[in-house]
Amino acid sequence: MNHQHSDVARMDRLIDRGMSAEDARDYVSSLPEFDASMAITTFMHCGKCLKEHQDGFTTDGVPQSPRDYASLEIGYTKRGFQVWCKRHECNVVHIDLEAHQHPAV
């Protein structure tokens, strides 16, 4: 059930970005099966972006979700990894992994 909902949401987002429905369906069906145990349960956002979003700011004048308004980059640091807001040039969060390697998906 969640898997199917997730596939529909993925296809809708790709179609919104200009991909044909057929290409979106082919692309999503080529992805590995969604592992619900690794699904995001709480999204992380820049507080300044969230405030702007709540105040009605948008990137292009069209109402958008916090996800679409976000302008984040994520990368490894010497101690862990960091989420950085490109719009506000500020740290959103830094996760210290204590030098442990964690596998990617």
Burial annotation 27-36 (CB, 10 A radius, 16+ → b, else e): ebeeeeebee
E strand spans, 1-105: 72-76, 80-85, 90-96
Beta carbon nearer to Zn ion, 20 or 59: 59
Closer by beta carbon to Zn ion, 50 or else 97: 50
DSSP states along 18-47 = T--HHHHHHHHHHSPPP-GGGS-SS----H
Question: Which residues are at the interface with Zn ion (CB under 5 A)?
Answer: 46, 48-49, 85, 87-88
For residue 34, the minimal CB distance to Zn ion (Å) is 28
Toward Zn ion, which CB reaches closer, 21 or 95? 95
Q: In angstroms, what is the minimal distance from the CB of 52 to Zn ion?
A: 7
Shortest Cβ contact with Zn ion: which residue? 46
